[in-house]
Amino acid sequence: MTDSSAVSVAPGPPAPAPSGVPAPAEDDVVTPDDDPAGDDDGVVRASPRARRALVAVTLVVTAFLLWGTFWGSDDHFPFGPFRMYANASDTNGVVRSARVEAVDATGRRFKLSDSSTGMRRAEVEGQMPRFREDGDRLEAVAEAYHARHPDAPELVLVEILQRRYHLVDGEPSGEVTEVQVAAWAAPGYEDLADYDARIAAEEEAAREAEVARSGSGADS
């Protein structure tokens, strides 16, 4: 005796995708039935065309990384390395530390911090070769300072100074030198950019002060 309530339903076409949800293109999806391995595990796999695209992207990124590793610079990050972290220091070499100083129209000299210009120290150091080539580019630093301090006295000098600490067997030897890497001076203040003349004047003033102190000590 058969169950008269059982109804035989013939298989029909698959239900359409919900409204607003695009159905995947047939060429981009491999269903379990199309799997060459015949594994009906319910996993949707990428089509050969999608796999070829992934391989192409991987090869392009790898090529950029290889190029950046051997020939890239800081400007090419993330494909180029940060040289300041990528190279080992010579244990008998020199450690360099740069800073940006300014002189305003009142004659006050001070260090320009990251917050005073909005330019990070790493940005300045990364552009060091360009500043060394043309010191007038430092005028942009003065403009950045004035944008943040519109009521402050005008800057008449911006310079990059580099202090060099000499090492012996990886330890500071006590020898420290300083050089001017680049400088920009406002019109009429070009003499301020003469680093050697300024250092000579400062040393002469220090010697005169020492002589004066020695003389006053002898008199007493």
Q: In 3-state terms, what secondary structure has residue 163?
A: strand
- In this structure, the chain runs to a length of 220
Cα angle: 105, vertex 107, 110; to 5 degrees: 100
Distance CA 155, CA 145 (A): 8
Compute the average pLDDT of residues 135-155: 94
Give the start-to-end residue ranges of the domains of the chain.
Answer: 27-71, 88-212
Give the β-pairing of 171-185 and 155-168. Answer: antiparallel
Quote the percentage of the chain above a pLDDT of 90: 26
Q: Look up the pTM and report it.
A: 0.55
The whole-angstrom separation of Cα 180 and Cα 131 is 11
C-alpha Rg value of the chain to the nearest Å: 35
Considering only CA atoms, which of 166, 164, 205, 157 is closest in space to residue 184? Answer: 157
Share of the chain above pLDDT 70, in %: 70
Sign of CA dihedral 140, 145, 148, 154: negative
Instruction: For residue range 63-116, list pLDDT tens digits in order.
Output: 878 877 777 766 666 666 666 555 566 788 888 888 999 999 999 999 999 889
Q: How far is CA 122 from the centre of its chain?
A: 6
What's the pLDDT score for residue 220? 57
Quick: pLDDT tens for 28-78: 555 555 555 555 566 777 788 888 888 999 998 888 788 777 777 666 666
H-only helix segments in the chain: 48-71, 83-86, 114-117, 121-126, 128-133, 139-148, 195-219
Cα–Cα distance for residue pair 50/67, rounded to 1 Å: 26
Residue 195 near residue 119, CB atoms below 8 Å: no
- Residue 18: asked if its preceding bond is cis (omega within 30°), the reply is no
pLDDT at 21 over 60: no
Which residue is listed with tokens 């610079």?
73
Q: Which of 27, 23, 30 is nearest to 46 (CA)?
A: 30
The secondary structure of residue 75, as a DSSP letter, is G
